[in-house]
Amino acid sequence: QSVLTQPPSVSGAPGQRVTISCTGSKSNIGAGFNVHWYQQVPGTAPKLLIYDNINRPSGVPDRFSGSKSGTSASLAITGPQAEDEAEYYCQSYDSSLAAVFGGGTKLTVL
């Protein structure tokens, strides 16, 4: 059971907007800790996608965006491409002094 809750799977067509939610609690996201997102293609290491809630590292396409409100955060993919099929993880920090992850969401591009 992950500390942060994500839907197991989402899907969308290239012309759509897909969102992945990440729900935490008052001891992590709600305590003001930043949320970060990673993309993991099977067989490879996770790759940083969004950091500090809304920021994209250099090289990440602008179709990826992040937001945070209260005890939750979201990753949006506007017009997903075939190469975006992957597992997506949110991550934050907890007042128990531990980094915490969501359980992961598999994105299928229709």
Interface residues with other proteins (CB under 8 A) are 2, 33-34, 36, 38, 44-48, 51-52, 57, 89, 91-93, 96-104
Q: Which is nearer to other proteins, 34 or 71 (CB)?
A: 34
Least distance to other proteins, CB of residue 31, Å = 12
> Tokens for 14?
């290239």
Least distance to other proteins, CB of residue 20, Å = 14
Least distance to other proteins, CB of residue 101, Å = 4
Please name which of 92, 76, 83 lies closest in space to residue 35, comparing C-alpha atoms: 92
Burial class (CB in 10 A: 0-12, 13-18, 19+), 26: exposed
Q: How many residues does the chain have?
A: 110
